[in-house]
Amino acid sequence: MMSPEARQRIQIVLIAAMVGAAARTGYILYHRHEDALEAARKKNAQNVGYSNPDYYISPKKLYPYDLKSAKQLTQQPAWVREGYRYTYYRYDAATKKVDFAHETGLLLPIEKLAISDIVTAMPPGPGQNKQVLAVFDNDGKSYAVPIGFEADGQYKIYSDEMFYVEDPNDLYKFWPPDIWQAIEQHQVKTGMNELQASFAIGMGVPDTGDTSYEKTVHYPNGGKPLVIVYHDGKAAEITPGS
C-alpha cells in the first residue's frame, strides 16, 4: 500500500509536469496567435493594395520553447536578422565552456551561420540567469551566441527574432540586383527601404517623434556610424553619424 508521503510526492511531480506543459502550450499558442494577427495584417495590406511587396513576406518561425525544440536550429542554416546587435563569445567544445569574460564580436548583417549545437551556460556574477546559446564555427574556431535564458525552470528563447531559417535571397528575390549587390558589400544607397538598409548595415535606432513620411534612423554600422533620413519609406539622405 502506498504511503501518504509517497502519494504526495507523486502529486507534486504530476502538478509540476502539468504546469510545465501548460506553460509550453501557452507559449506556442501565444506566438501562433501573434503570427495569425500578422497574417491578417498582411492580408489586409494586400486588400488595401500596398505597393511594397515586402509586406506580404512571412518568414518561417520555429517556435522553440526548450532545449530540445531549440535544436531545430541545427537542421538548416540560419541568417542573422539584425547585424551588429548580438554579441558572441569563444566556446571550448571539449570542456563545453563559454568565455563570457571576453566578448569576441558582433554577428554581422545577414551573416550565414551553421549552428551545430544548443547549449546552456551560467554567466559569472550574482543574479544571472542560465543562458541558452547557439554554437557555431567560424574559421575553424567555435563560438556561442545567446539565444535565450532559463529561469525558474522555464525557458525564454528568442531565436525567431534573431534569425531567418530561410535564405533571405529567396525570401526577397524580387529585390533588384543592384540592391542585393549593395547588401553583399555592406553598403547602403539612396532609394533603399529600411529592411534593405538593415540587411546592408545592421540594426538602426530611430529618432522619437518621427512621422509616417519622414523618419531618421541612426546605425552603429560596426563602428562606422551612419544616419539615414527616410522620406516615404525610402532612404533620401545618408550622412556619417557620431
pLDDT class of 35 with cuts at 50, 70, 90: low
Mean pLDDT of the chain: 87
Single-letter amino acid, residue 240: P
Q: What's the confidence (pLDDT) of residue 206?
A: 95
pTM: 0.79
pLDDT class of 48 with cuts at 50, 70, 90: very low
**71 CB neighbour count, 10 Å cutoff:** 15
Q: Which of 115, 109, 219 is closest to 168 using CA atoms?
A: 109
Reduced to 3 states (helix: H, G, I; strand: E, B; else coil), residue 33 is helix
Domain ranges of the chain: 4-56, 67-164, 172-240
**67-164 and 172-240: same fold?**
no
* Secondary-structure class of domain 67-164 per CATH: mainly beta
What is the CATH code of the structural domain delimited by 172-240?
A: 3.30.1450
Please state, for a pLDDT cut of 90, what percent of the chain lies above it: 73
